[in-house]
Amino acid sequence: MIPFNKPYLTGKEAHYIYQAVSSGKISGNGIFTKKCQSFFEEHYNFNKCLLTTSCTDALEMAAILIDTRPGDEIIMPSYTFVSTANAFVLRGAKIVFADSMANNPNMDVDKIEALITPKTKAIVPVHYAGFACDMDKLMELARKYNLYVIEDAAQAIDNYYISKDGTKRALGSIGDLAAFSFHETKNIISGEGGMLVVNNKKFEQRAEIIWEKGTNRSAFFRGEVDKYGWVDVGSSFLPSEVIAAFLWAQLENMEDIQAKRKSIWNTYHEGLKDYAQKNNIKLPDIPSYSTNNAHMFYMVCESLQQRTEIINRLKTNDILSVFHYLSLHSSPFAKDKHDGRILSESDRYTDTLVRLPFYYELTDNDIAKVINIIKQI
């Protein structure tokens, strides 16, 4: 059996968890949490990082930080995970769904200006498969209309946006805020886990307070205030040190993990490109402004029927391939709230995108087997 995903363990996770447990401090914001946060801040030029229990939680923190209120409109792609939308729906916002691009499931930035109204508060780009949205264009639009940008960078760890002048900036370092996931299906994992990146300095202090249940406890521990209390809304968004210790083992092996994943990605691409072209299947079209962090390998089929055939044929051979999002604008929860615009690209990815098995321990033999079965169709 070749599964779709298999969480990779570097071998050091249990060791660091043991270390965290025997230190006697296993609640949040301890040594391992700080090590992980500093790692990200230093490696990716993120202004301030706070580990969270999930990307979903980081998005919820972002929604609180920008002061989302009933009546606010938030623009995001329809082709995304429910958490991108739920975070803002929980605060009463109206979601305005944008269509994807023809050559890439990311939001089509050229179609966003038409969706902006006086009620628009933020744009939430999702870097699908880790590939960058067109951030320079998006940030320009956000500046013009005075909107916040919150990057859903759940899949985009260790990936970069390349500006026209060649400058590279890590995804997650560009928007006012960004959310990452360390769920076991992502490149770098901790079972469940996530991170909020606070790039806009005006949110720094409040982010810490919301993270710590609405108290100024972090400032208290730094000696900045002499007692701590309830100063704002908040919740328990911090992961325990057990989770952070696990994550630290992964971060120490990040280069190795990423090199392996990129090699798997390239093997798929090389092995499938001729077949794809002959059969009207599109392989990922990496934008010129994005690098590739090898988060997943997907194909966009010509039709639902062709995709079903590929999934079934692989399944008959004990290989699990899976489709992905169902357009949120036509979901049972959102369809009566949606304004009726037809988002045909998003619906097309809903019907035709398929993801192939992708994990660190996938061998060259496994990949060859997947490719050969697809080629027989």
Ligand X SMILES: *Cc1c(COP(=O)(O)O)cnc(C)c1O
How far apart are CB 210 and ligand X at their closest, in Å?
17
Q: Which residues contact 119 (CB under 8 A, 6 or more apart)?
A: 71, 72, 73, 94
- Residues 168-187, interacting with ligand X (CB under 6 A): 181, 183
- The smaller minimum CB distance to ligand X, of residues 121 and 186, is found at 186
Which listed residue (44, 81, 88, 131) binds ligand X by CB under 6 A? 81
Q: Is residue 182 classed as helix, strand or coil in its secondary structure?
A: coil
Whichever of 100 and 216 has its CB closer to ligand X, that residue is: 100
- Give the span between the Cα atoms of 204 and 198, in whole angstroms: 6
CB of 4 to ligand X, least distance (A): 14
316-327 core/surface letters (b: 16 or more CB in 10 A; e: else): eeebebebbbbb
Contact mark string toward ligand X, 98..117, x via CB under 6 A: --------------------
What are the distances in angstroms from CA 123 to CA 107, 141, 307? 10, 10, 32
- Which C-beta is closer to ligand X: that of 210 or that of 374? 210
Given the complex with ligand X, which of 81 and 248 has the nearer CB atom?
A: 81
Q: Running DSSP on this structure, what letter comes out for residue 230?
A: B
* Closer to ligand X by Cβ: residue 28 or 194: 194
Distance CA 88, CA 120 (A): 12
Nearer to ligand X, 84 or 159 (CB): 84
* Region of 76-84, 85-93, 348-356, 366-374 interacting with ligand X (CB under 6 A): 76-84
Among 80, 106, 199, 293, interactor with ligand X by CB under 6 A: 80
Q: If binding is defined by CB under 6 A, does position 159 make contact with ligand X? A: no
Distance CA 194, CA 361 (A): 23
Instruction: Please tell me what DSSP assigns to residue 282.
Output: B
139 binds ligand X, rule: CB under 6 A? no
Question: Does residue 56 touch ligand X according to CB under 6 A?
Answer: yes
Asked whether position 155 contacts ligand X by CB under 6 A, the answer is yes
| Binding piece for ligand X, criterion CB under 6 A, among 49-57, 71-79, 209-217, 227-235 | 49-57
Do the bridges between strand 73-77 and strand 120-123 make them parallel or antiparallel, or are there none, so unpaired?
A: parallel
- Please, what's the b/e burial string for 113-136 (b: 16 or more CB within 10 A of its CB; e: otherwise)? eebbeeebbbbbbbbbbbbbbbbb
- State how far the alpha carbon of 100 is from the alpha carbons of 78, 85, 175, in Å: 8, 16, 19
Instruction: Fill in the amino acid letter for 63.
Output: A
Q: How many CB atoms lie within 10 A of CB 169?
A: 16
Judged by beta carbon, residue 127 or residue 348, the one nearer ligand X is 127
Q: Which of 63, 93, 124, 126 binds ligand X (CB under 6 A)?
A: 126
Q: Residues binding ligand X: what is the number (CB under 6 A)?
A: 14
| 152: contact with ligand X by CB under 6 A | yes
**Tokens 């109206």 label which residue?**
94
Would you tell me which residues interact with ligand X (CB under 6 A)?
54-56, 80-81, 83-84, 126, 152, 154-155, 181, 183, 194
